[in-house]
Amino acid sequence: MGRLVGFLVNPVAGMGGRVGLHGTDTAARAVEARRRGGSPVAPLRSARALRRLASSRGADDVTVLAAPASMGAVVAASSGLRVRLLDVGVGNPTSAADTAAAAAAAAGAGADLLLFAGGDGTAADVLSAVGRSIPLLGIPAGVKMRSGVFAATPEAAGDLAAQHLRRLARVPDGEVLPALLTTAEVVDAHPADRMHGGRSHDADALGERGRRAGEWAGSDRAVQTAQPAVEPGPMANTLIGVALVPRADDGRLVGTKSSTSLQGGTALDTLAEAVASELDPETLYLVGPGTTTSRVLGALGLEGDVLGVDAVTRGELVGVDLSEDEILGLVDEYPRTGLILGVIGGQGMLLGRGNQQLGPRVLSRLSPDDVTILSSPDKLVALRPALLRVDAGDQASFPWLTGYRRVRVAPRRYMMMRVDAA
């Protein structure tokens, strides 16, 4: 039976990179990128990925479900692969809403995998539309690719797509093999820009998770730090969500720039099990957002909210996706509180992006020893510079948040990381 690959290209992705823009994730930036002489990057890079897929074993069984025109069909037509058009319209110029619509259409048409070309913004748009209903694989073609859904190169994306489809062919229809899939974080920078910089799609198109990201970013502090749309400013990644991705068995497919490896999380599971087994029964543990920390809950047989702050004690979930007030209420009930944090890939944010619930009022109840930071070593090694960041809102009150801290990377291994104020 044939395999279906959804395929979409964000045609303006990557244009800003060589002309000094951080991305083209607002309409204004795309226009500015063109004005500065940026030329399309994504069509060429996605063509490289499809060429690789077309020359792989089993390519005869593959049908590409392409988004129309410049969003996929043009590139797919010359790939040598069988192509069917997705039944969606696209605007001119194309927009984030078009990306989301095409992704949803591919999922609706029963695609086995959604291959998309773009950067973090595109990944966020795709994820908002399809969630974890279909595995995603990013062809790196944007300016910022901090999300773990991207392969290292277009060719690596083609290889991994081909490998995944071949593996699927060996699995009975309708059966989902966990061994073939893993999860990866999708992060995106400049959330404030996205809300206030005139991005061409509105919050509804981002879906529920996107709106939440917007809410965090829309706090007063984020508004104050918002940069003009075309000025380079400090990057601030937010965890947008968690995508399903094909599992790569060759680590070399993934660049160290990616924040979460497409590799399986066996090593992280071992770490999570160690952390879970050492939890003190008298302590309330606040578990921050992210896939790494959620593995600790997983090791306890619990499922929290991967994007929110959860609370656990004595092996039981006592709060999911807590607000700051709810956290404070719980902290009052227990003699001791521990905080388990992950690292947001790409910029190494610990606090202040995507977890503002852990603000000054909560932090004032903690001491340095109460905080456990978990990460894969790969994620730390990929940080340039090797630095973690916190934005506690009221930095002066928490000198202990900064300086060197141990990050646990395996049951008995730690990396000594410097933590600076963001």
- Out of 256, 270, 395, 402, point to the residue binding another protein (CB under 8 A): 256
From the centroid of its chain, how far is CA 351?
Answer: 17
Structure tokens at 154: 């277009």
DSSP 71: G
The SS3 assignment for 109 reads coil
Which CA distances in Å does 7 have to 42, 53, 127, 318, 387?
12, 12, 14, 42, 36
Q: Which is nearer to another protein, 155 or 370 (CB)?
A: 155
Amino acid sitting at position 370 = D
- Out of 283, 370, 418, 420, point to the residue binding another protein (CB under 8 A): 418
Question: What's the min distance (Å) between Cβ of 15 and another protein?
Answer: 16
Q: Which stretch in 128-136, 154-162, 195-203, 311-319 sits in contact with another protein by CB under 8 A?
A: 154-162
Q: Which is nearer to another protein, 153 or 291 (CB)?
A: 153
Structure tokens at 68: 């129309």
- Out of 47, 152, 168, 205, point to the residue binding another protein (CB under 8 A): 152
Which of 97, 53, 51 lies closest to 71 in space, CA to CA? 97
Question: What's the min distance (Å) between Cβ of 387 and another protein?
Answer: 8
Amino acid sitting at position 325 = D
370 near another protein, rule: CB under 8 A: no
Question: What's the min distance (Å) between Cβ of 267 and another protein?
Answer: 11
270 near another protein, rule: CB under 8 A: no
For the purposes of burial, counting CB atoms within 10 Å of the CB of 58, is it exposed (0-12), middle (13-18) or buried (19 or more)? middle
Provide CB contacts within 8 A for 259, sequence distance 6+. 146, 147, 148, 185, 187, 237, 344, 345, 346, 379, 382
Cis preceding linkage at 93, omega within 30: yes
- Out of 171, 176, 179, 381, point to the residue binding another protein (CB under 8 A): 381
Q: Where are the alpha helices (DSSP H) in 226-358?
A: 266-277, 291-299, 324-333
* Binders of another protein in range 13-52 (CB under 8 A): 48, 52
250 near another protein, rule: CB under 8 A: yes
Question: What's the min distance (Å) between Cβ of 48 and another protein?
Answer: 6
The SS3 assignment for 121 reads helix
Residue 325: CB atoms within 10 A of its CB come to 11
Instruction: Give me Rg for the CA atoms of the chain.
Output: 21
417 near another protein, rule: CB under 8 A: yes
Q: Which stretch in 178-186, 218-226, 301-309, 404-412 sits in contact with another protein by CB under 8 A?
A: 404-412
Site size with another protein, rule: CB under 8 A: 31
169 near another protein, rule: CB under 8 A: no
- Out of 79, 153, 237, 238, point to the residue binding another protein (CB under 8 A): 153
- Out of 69, 377, 395, 420, point to the residue binding another protein (CB under 8 A): 377
Q: Which is nearer to another protein, 172 or 385 (CB)?
A: 385
Per-residue contact string for residues 383-402; x = within reach of another protein by CB under 8 A: --xx----------------
Question: What's the min distance (Å) between Cβ of 76 and another protein?
Answer: 18
Q: Are 83 and 50 in contact (CB under 8 A)?
A: no
Q: Which is nearer to another protein, 18 or 132 (CB)?
A: 18
Q: Which is nearer to another protein, 103 or 268 (CB)?
A: 268
406 near another protein, rule: CB under 8 A: yes
378 near another protein, rule: CB under 8 A: yes
Q: Which is nearer to another protein, 176 or 381 (CB)?
A: 381
The SS3 assignment for 167 reads helix
Q: Where are the alpha helices (DSSP H) in 170-314?
A: 191-196, 203-217, 220-225, 266-277, 291-299
What does the binding site for another protein look like in residue numbers (CB under 8 A)?
48, 52, 140, 152-156, 249-250, 252, 255-257, 377-378, 380-381, 385-386, 403-404, 406, 409, 412-418
